[in-house]
Amino acid sequence: MNPDPALLDSNTMTPESNFTTVLNFTTPVPDRGCPPVGIQLEGLILPPVITIDVILGLLGNIVALWIFLFKLKAWNPNNLFLFNLVIADFLVLVSLPLRIDALLRGYWVFGDGLCRINLFLMFTNRTASIALMTVVAVYRYFKVVHPHHHFNCMTKRQAAVVSVFVWLLVISPRVPLLAYSHIKGSSDKSQCFFFTSYKEASHGIIILVAMHRILTVLEFILPLALLLFCSIRISRFLKKRQMGKPEKVRKAMRMCTAIVAVFMVCFLPTTVTTIGVWVIRSYRPWDCTAFYTFTQLSIVSLGLNFLNSALDPIVYVFSSSMFRKALLAALPRWLLCRRDEGGNAASSSSSSGTKSTDEQELKSMKPDRSSEAT
């Protein structure tokens, strides 16, 4: 089976390569570069990993979409940004079953058009998730650290404009993916590749591959720096100004920690392996052992890359008190009763009159701006 487009730099492969032959992975093939790698491992690891990503992602995002559309009593800019994140996750989740099928079959059967769309959605989801999580973190930063800034007076219409701008920024560099055919091989055993051999690639494809590598690195490093800045500033501000309200500090830091954790777990491995392959291809093209190692790591990182769609619902819970209240209100009564009993049992020794957290959050569904700041 040929390597997946997001995993291998197929600049080392040619259509004439015999994938059933046992190859020496430490010795370059004359005029072809390093031999193809990760063929069996790709089909073994990725299908179950991506299947789990799809199942968990659909379950979590269907619940999130239901909450946003039918249970949320009011909307604010923060919830609008999170709703856009749900849409981004759904777009990639509905396209991943095609990739799973291709991995299990060993070839692509859905034609050139769906191949282009599939690759476009796969790469766009990563960029959109990073961009929207960054917007959510920046919005929370201004709400907490600069509460009187005019940025906090953003209306829902203005937030919609920001969302459209983010989508245009995300989609624009990926549109060229739709302009080129990525189908390789014979008609009955065709493959849906993004990367291709430089020997057979057009000048446009070569530029597209280089642009993809640059974006993969930049769209991780720059937002990560911004996320860390916002998290540190929020933490310092709350610890300094609200020492008497430790719960507010904990709530704000849970949000920051959730976003940074999802960001690092899902997107750091892809970035590191992309840089590794880039460096090896540029400065050590003869080192097939290193290339093989980073290729295997790339296989694992792709599964983590799509895990963000399954973990994003956690971000919704920690990032929006309105979403959290709506979710609690939608939970079955028997489940809330158990939570309340557990909370009352734990708190009886310290304060018999203390209400459970769930009761306090369910007491009022009317949102207020101050609650979103924490």
In the structure encoding, which two tokens stand for residue 14, read together?
Answer: 């040619």
Whole-model pTM: value is 0.74
Average pLDDT, stretch 25-51?
Answer: 62
Residues 34/292, Cβ–Cβ less than 8 Å: yes
**Nearest in space to 8 (alpha carbons), one of 54, 42, 53, 51:** 42
pLDDT-based confidence at residue 152 (cuts at 50, 70, 90):
confident
Q: What is 37-328+359-372's CATH number, 3.30.1360.200, 1.20.1050.90, 1.20.1070.10, 3.20.20.30?
A: 1.20.1070.10
pLDDT-based confidence at residue 330 (cuts at 50, 70, 90):
confident
pLDDT tens for residues 190-234? 878 765 444 445 666 777 777 877 888 888 999 999 999 988 888
**Nearest in space to 8 (alpha carbons), one of 184, 179, 193, 174:** 193
Average pLDDT, stretch 53-64?
Answer: 91
**Nearest in space to 278 (alpha carbons), one of 17, 11, 3:** 11
Query: What pLDDT sits at residue 348?
Result: 44
CA separation for the pair 74, 128 (Å, rounded): 24
**Nearest in space to 2 (alpha carbons), one of 39, 43, 44:** 39
Burial of 48 (0-12, 13-18, 19+ CB in 10 A): exposed
Average pLDDT, stretch 44-66?
Answer: 89
Angle among Cα 94, 98, 102 to the nearest 5 degrees reads 160
Cα atoms in the Cβ-side hemisphere of radius 13 Å centred on 136: 32
Query: What pLDDT sits at residue 14?
Result: 33
Query: What pLDDT sits at residue 223?
Result: 92
Domain borders along the chain are 37-328+359-372
Residues 127/174, Cβ–Cβ less than 8 Å: yes
Query: What pLDDT sits at residue 294?
Result: 81
Among the ranges given (14-23, 33-42, 89-98), the one the predictor scored with the smallest mean pLDDT:
14-23
Query: What pLDDT sits at residue 202?
Result: 64
